[in-house]
Amino acid sequence: MDSAFEELIAEAEAASVDGWDFSWLDGRASEERPSWGYARLLGERMGRAQASLDIQTGGGEVLALSPVMPPLAVATESFTPNVAKATRLLHPRGVAVVADPDEPPLPFASCAFDLVTSRHPATVWWVEIARVLRPGGTYLAQHVGPASVFELIEYFLGPQPQARLERRADDEARAAVAAGLDIVDLREERLRIEIRDVGAVVYLLRKVIWWVPGFSVDAYRTRLRELHELIQREGAFVAHSTRHLIEAKRPD
């Protein structure tokens, strides 16, 4: 029995995966960050807004980095443990956290916000975003792009040719325009990820549950052991994330 493998697996299975904080991976995995600096852009826009909505806020970690909150600030989240974590983090900053199933309609009146934001939303309902924005209001978000981390996903699931076609920036921009928004900015980047132990893989697949649906250590133990051996030989498992920054405006 490989004791190092078993210890890494046990440690990752015991780790909390609540919220959207990935600091547990420090020293175990690294990912390049997009050059545009989403958290900084978000903070700048929040400082100028009067009423903001952050969609699918996770545990509120990114939104909480904003130095200033608007007079009215709201965040939505669907995953119950994240709702509790976001509430603890954001309520002291004056942000109301609303439990929402991430399905239309958004539980807000039309023209309620001059700024709508989101970082890595699982779903994007453009018609609803356009509806809740005031005329002249802005949607600013960082989305996950096509085939993101597919080296890891396909390691476990095999080729995913249809899924590789999803989440393309141009397709999302067309959908935004079809909903009545104007595209102000659209940027894309491909970023290097290095995963340096198998425990980091287990942690990621427990946390980002849509990468390998139904993942469990027992179901994938053989494949995990092979991955552990690969990392030991090569020093890291290399994958690539894709991100795009999208800014859209509701016409005046």
pLDDT of residue 43: 97
212-249 pLDDT per residue, tens: 999 999 999 999 999 999 999 999 999 999 999 999 99
- The answer for residues whose C-beta is within 8 angstroms of residue 205's C-beta and 6 or more apart is 156, 211, 212, 215
pLDDT above 70 covers what percent of the chain?
Answer: 100
Q: Please check whether residue 124 is in contact with residue 145, taking contact to mean a CB–CB distance below 8 angstroms.
A: no
Please check the confidence at residue 1 and state whether its pLDDT lies above 80.
Answer: no
Q: Is omega for the bond preceding 101 within 30 degrees of 0, making it cis?
A: no
- pLDDT-derived band of residue 19, with 50, 70 and 90 as boundaries? confident
What CATH class has 3-249? alpha beta
**DSSP E strand boundaries for the chain:** 29-31, 51-54, 72-77, 95-99, 113-119, 133-144, 182-195, 237-249
55-107 pLDDT per residue, tens: 999 999 999 999 999 999 999 999 999 999 999 999 999 999 999 999 999 99
**Distance of alpha carbon 195 from alpha carbon 241, whole angstroms:** 12
pLDDT of residue 18: 85
